[in-house]
Amino acid sequence: MKKNKLYNMIFPPYIEFLFTPLVFIPIIGNFIIDGLLVLFITFILFKRFHKDFYIRTVFVAYGLGFAADFVGLIFCFIPELANGVYILLSERLFYHFDFIHYDFVEHFFLFDKSLFIVIGFVMAVICLFFYNFFLTFGVINRKYRIKKWQRIIFSAMLAVFTAPITYFVPYEWIKGFLY
């Protein structure tokens, strides 16, 4: 009996929409920045290149950087969620009740989006610091005995230099780059 192979015809176009050329810029850029910073940290600690320390640290810092960026993005999307709840409530609930003034509800639910972008950026930097302090340098501390003040400085360096500054790029610029 002949076995037939099944091929997924939806997969290639889906990947094309998911990974636009603009996505590869932060992926490669973050790895280069993380790699150079960990290389710098390696030379500060050991006065030479230490391959085992570098490999154990750079990939963890790289992955946790994207996790911290995701936490910051959650805070950036809060106004969009709040506006969606506002639209849902105004259409479904407040339209039927006359005792709630519509303008009061409109001013109560609409937020300044730039404030939440700054909050998301700060939360991402804080998460980057704690991820690097406890996970990147905390786990490797058992083998290499890094001092606490060094872990604080190195975690702060990675948090500041790999901060997600692309949160502040206007969407029109990105849209203009893609189209």
Which residues lie closer than 8 Å to 11 by C-beta, 6 or more apart?
none
Question: In this predicted model, which residue has the larger pLDDT, 66 or 87?
Answer: 66
Which of the 8 DSSP states describes residue 162? T
Mean pLDDT, the chain, as a whole number?
Answer: 76
Q: What is the DSSP string of 60-104?
A: HHHHHHHHHHHHHHHHHTHHHHHHHHHHHHHHHTTTT-SSS-HHH
Under a CB-based contact definition with an 8 Å cutoff, are residues 137 and 157 in contact? no
> What pLDDT score was predicted for residue 126?
95
Tell me what the mean pLDDT of segment 50-64 comes to.
88
Judge whether residue 122 has pLDDT over 60. Answer: yes
> What pLDDT score was predicted for residue 128?
93
In 10 A of CB 177, how many CB atoms?
Answer: 12
Judge whether residue 6 has pLDDT over 80. Answer: no
For 97, half-sphere exposure in the C-beta direction (CA atoms, 13 angstrom radius) is 10
Judge whether residue 3 has pLDDT over 70. Answer: no
Q: Which two tokens stand for residue 44?
A: 């500060």
pLDDT tens digits for range 82-114: 766 666 555 555 555 555 554 544 554 445 677
Under a CB-based contact definition with an 8 Å cutoff, are residues 145 and 46 in contact? no
Q: Which two tokens stand for residue 80?
A: 């969009």
Query: In 31-41, which positions are buried (b, 16+ CB within 10 angstroms) versus exposed (e)?
Result: eebbbebbeeb
Could you tell me how many residues make up the chain? 179
Q: Which two tokens stand for residue 18?
A: 């998911």
